[in-house]
Amino acid sequence: MAKVLIGIGGGIAAYKVCEVVSALAKLGVEVKVILTAAACEFITPLTLATLSRNPAFTDRDFWQAKHGRPLHIELGEWANVFVIAPLTANSLAKLAHGFADNLLTNTVLASTCPILLAPAMNTDMWEQLTVQRNWQQVFADPRYHSVGPGAGVLACDRIGSGRMAEPSEIIAHIKSLLHTKGKKDLTGKRVLISAGGTREFLDPVRFIGNPSTGKMGLALATAALHRGASVTLVHAPINGEIPLGVKTVGVMSAAEMQKAMLEHFSSADLIIMSAAVADVKPANYAREKLPKKALPSSLDLAFVPDIVAELGNLKQPHQKLVGFAAQTGDIVTPALEKLQRKKLDAIAANPIDKLNSGFASENNQAILLDSQGRQVEIPPCSKLEMAHLLYDFVQELG
């Protein structure tokens, strides 16, 4: 069972951490919580103990000899991932300089697992030179990872940066750290990803499209970002939040996606085509909405550019190109044919006729194949987990 230790600092954003604790517990993760003295002014240990199904610890527990071993040692050795949210300016300064004057900071020094920091503070506080210096200094230790802060309306009514990352972002990063154990094996790599379903319009309101929501592409972008990559996401219409830190290019049609992918292709080290690109488009486009009586009884179609094949022809030796093949029935045979014909380094063949898999689902499954003949089956899992498994597979490409 995965073990996540969450340290809560003294800030109004502490209430958001309840959602993180509750969601992790429901996923079967074992969660334990440390509250600083200031955190107890905003939220009670009883609340966190109830949500986590474990005792919630405070400095009062730290200074009492009621545990068999020192509590900070026990908790530090126990955790697979350590999260500090909200991270206050005070706690950040202690981390940057190695101070250990409470249970939270002592446990940090007694731990060896990855630590995820989710800062939250007033904009002026966050932008102080000393705070920014401490923020940069703490990442000299590769154990530290960050999520946020974002920008928006703060509790002080200020609009600006310093807002703690949303619970969904924190949970996604925790899941990534549990998989990678903190490794950033894509650091220095530039990853280019396509996502979403392109639309080919007959008139301003009617189009040929597909059910893709772009969730797989978003998961790929999230996983790459968490593994240290610089990520560019070229996306048709999608359904989901784009992670902070991902460069985005919005498109609609296959031609627009082709143009955007070609513009960014030469600078990318790894290219993943997860978009569901239309194969055909209406041969004629009406600039004004066609009345129902004017709709053609048969539709003349034209083929759209084959983006993956074009990129395969342009690929340089240092680049890796990965495709997706959404299939029904036999998924391996057509995927292998696509892999070879389009000069891909690897392909993910995923069934779209399986329950809770493929388009619009939160989960997916696939068979990964590469040009060297490897085949790895990914059983049903979350799309974020599948993204990480795909990156693990790609890292082993020759």
Where is the binding site for CTP, in residues? 279, 289, 305-308, 324, 338, 342
Residue tagged 């026990």 (tokens): 74
369 neighbors 362 (Cβ within 8 angstroms): no
CA dihedral 294, 295, 301, 306 (to 10 degrees): 110
Query: What's the rounded Cα separation, in Å, for the pair 232 and 247?
Result: 5
Q: Which among 2, 359, 357 has a CA at the least distance from the CA of 176?
A: 2
**Residue 394: strand, helix, or coil:** helix
**Residue 257: strand, helix, or coil:** helix
| 346, containing H or E segment | strand 346-351
Other CB atoms within a 10 A radius of the CB of residue 398 amount to 7
Query: What's the rounded Cα separation, in Å, for the pair 266 and 135?
Result: 33
The amino acid occupying position 276 is A
Strand pairing category for 363-370 and 346-351: antiparallel
**Residue 110: strand, helix, or coil:** coil
Q: Which among 376, 21, 384 has a CA at the least distance from the CA of 225?
A: 384
Calculate the CA 35 to chain-centre distance: 27
**Residue 9: strand, helix, or coil:** coil
161 neighbors 204 (Cβ within 8 angstroms): no
- Give the ranges where 227-322 is alpha helix by DSSP (H): 254-265, 307-314
Strand pairing category for 115-119 and 81-87: parallel
Residue positions annotated with a catalytic role: 156
In total, the chain counts a number of residues equal to 398
273 pairs with which residues across the strands? Answer: 194, 323
- Give the ranges where the chain is alpha helix by DSSP (H): 14-26, 45-52, 59-62, 71-78, 89-97, 103-109, 123-126, 129-138, 167-180, 215-226, 254-265, 307-314, 332-341, 383-395
